[in-house]
Amino acid sequence: MKSTYFYPAPSEDQQMILDLVVGFAKDELTSLAEAIDHQGEIPQALQEQMAEMGLLAIPISEDNGGAGFDFTSYVLSLAEIAKASGTVAMHLANQTTFFLEPLAQFATGHRAFDEVASGGALGALALLEDAGSFSGEGIQTSADGLKLSGQKSGVLGGEDAKWILVGAKEGDGISFFAFEKDRAGTYLSETSKRLGFRSLSSSTLTFENVTLSDEDRVGQAGDGAAILAFLHTRGLVALTAIAAGIADAAGEAAAQYATERKQFRRAISEFEAIKQRLASSVLAHGASMSLLLSCSRMIDDGIPCDQLARVAKVTATSGALEATDDALQVYGGYGFSQEYPAERFYRDACCLGVFLGGNDDSIQELAMTILPQ
């Protein structure tokens, strides 16, 4: 982790978890990243190792069964893991931000928590529908009478998940429930692989009169708006962290290649056009880290930061896409070969912008905040 972007300096606890994560990423994860991407799955042994290290529950208090670090420690760790493997970082965010954190915040003691946090099972968030968005608008899935019926699309990691966290209409509001995917009436109707983050499938789940109970609830009936806001802000910041890590990785790999590659008896890193390409990753990583730290510290201090989180996510994911594209250009024809990591960085960056409603939705919402009323 570059100290350039830290002020104030990391606390003793933050430095402790960062040292652990940086060592794990460099010594073990980096060498596995290519195989994880090509094989399209994260080894079970690696998942268990991350759970044993406490990486699945970094920002959750010890009283709630977590590792007891702050949110800043978590997103900085996420950026370091993304630098080694974007897929593993997204998997970690999927388990932590989109499953364990809402359970710890709104359903302390839920039976799914320990099993997922310990690495014994995977969780997945089932929220999006074809006509809806992450904000909850357009949700047609119904849980009236504690009978769940409807369909969810784009469930990240849904194929491998044992537990699912589902948002559904209940009366005039939205409620959330966490239950086992094999419950009667739940069907995995479609699964597809992504351009990037290949180890995380995108699934469609169909519910036909699935029987729910009050023990399945996450929060109270109608608490959906608060849970959605919680998920949305933290999700945006988590994606910012992943984008920062990918941009950093792309820049370092391209810079290394540029010093080794010779043309006209000179390293191509000496050419002005290549320097401009390499600078894009520095700009993207620097801007992303600055926004990331601002957002995470606001979250740790209990200060609302949804608008800044939108700015951070759009800035970071757009920057990562530009930085990874420039890395491809530095590699030239070799950039499109799977023998080099540039094409993996680019594919992962392409997918980042579409999560949580996509950058276009965020840009439109940000524009509305400055238009005259």
Residue 219 covered by a domain: yes
Q: Report the C-alpha gap between 128 and 136 in whole angstroms.
A: 8
8 preceded by cis ω (within 30°)? yes
Least Cα distance to 180 among 148, 153, 226, 202 occurs for 148
Q: Which residues of 332-347 are buried (b: 16+ CB within 10 A; e: fewer)?
A: eeebeeeebbbbbbbb
Mean pLDDT of the chain: 92
Instruction: Give pLDDT tens digits for 321-333.
Output: 999 999 999 999 8
Least Cα distance to 208 among 143, 139, 138, 131 occurs for 143
pLDDT for res 199: 87
Residue 11 covered by a domain: yes
**Percent of the chain, pLDDT > 90?**
77
Compute the C-alpha angle 107/298/87, nearest 5°: 65
Residue 78 covered by a domain: yes
Beta-strand runs (E) in 79-146: 123-126
pLDDT for res 282: 92
Same domain, 185 and 238: no
Same domain, 241 and 139: no
CB 65 within 8 A of CB 78: no
Q: How many CB atoms lie within 10 A of CB 264?
A: 7
pLDDT for res 167: 96
Given 99, 117, 135, the domain boundary residue is: 117
Same domain, 276 and 326: yes
Domain that holds residue 38: 3-117
Residue 373 covered by a domain: no
CB 177 within 8 A of CB 156: no
Instruction: Give pLDDT tens digits for 126-159.
Output: 999 875 567 677 789 999 999 999 999 999 999 9
Measured N-to-C along each axis, helices 86-95 and 71-84 cross at an angle, to the nearest 10 degrees, of 150
Distant-in-sequence, close-in-space partners of 111: CB < 8 Å, separation ≥ 6: 215
Q: Report the C-alpha gap between 280 and 286 in whole angstroms.
A: 10
Same domain, 233 and 322: yes
Same domain, 234 and 349: yes
Given 224, 241, 269, the domain boundary residue is: 224
Residue 1 confidence (pLDDT) above 70: no
Task: Give the CATH number for residue 337.
Answer: 1.20.140.10
Residue 339 covered by a domain: yes
Same domain, 183 and 311: no
Residue 358 confidence (pLDDT) above 80: no
Least Cα distance to 324 among 61, 133, 86, 107 occurs for 86
Same domain, 201 and 281: no
Q: Report the C-alpha gap between 5 and 219 in whole angstroms.
A: 37
Residue 206 confidence (pLDDT) above 90: yes
Task: Give the CATH number for residue 145.
Answer: 2.40.110.10
Instruction: Give pLDDT tens digits for 246-277.
Output: 999 999 999 999 999 888 888 888 899 999 99
Given 164, 193, 224, the domain boundary residue is: 224
Measure CA 79 to chain center.
Answer: 10
Same domain, 134 and 248: no
Task: Give the CATH number for residue 82.
Answer: 1.10.540.10
Measured N-to-C along each axis, helices 30-39 and 342-352 cross at an angle, to the nearest 10 degrees, of 70
Same domain, 212 and 307: no
Residue 167 covered by a domain: yes
Same domain, 362 and 340: yes
Instruction: Give pLDDT tens digits for 310-324.
Output: 999 999 999 999 999
Q: What are the structure tokens assigned to 5, written together?
A: 């972007």
Instruction: Give pLDDT tens digits for 56-76.
Output: 999 999 999 999 999 999 999
pLDDT for res 373: 67
Distant-in-sequence, close-in-space partners of 318: CB < 8 Å, separation ≥ 6: 353, 359
**Concatenated DSSP letters for 221-241?**
TTTHHHHHHHHHHHHHHHHHH
Q: Report the C-alpha gap between 311 and 305 in whole angstroms.
A: 10
Residue 175 covered by a domain: yes
Least Cα distance to 185 among 208, 214, 162 occurs for 208
Residue 14 covered by a domain: yes
Same domain, 246 and 364: yes
pLDDT for res 133: 63
Least Cα distance to 32 among 48, 20, 18, 45 occurs for 45
Instruction: Give pLDDT tens digits for 13-41.
Output: 999 999 999 999 999 999 999 999 999 89
Same domain, 47 and 159: no
User: How far is CA 264 from each of CA 9, 13, 256, 261, 267, rounded to the nearest angstrom?
Assistant: 44, 50, 18, 10, 8
pLDDT for res 106: 97
Residue 204 confidence (pLDDT) above 60: yes
Cross-strand pairs, 263: 266
Q: Based on the structure, what is the number of domains in the chain?
A: 3
Residue 290 confidence (pLDDT) above 90: yes
Q: Label each residue of 294-326 as H, E or C.
A: HHHHHHHCCCCCHHHHHHHHHHHHHHHHHHHHH
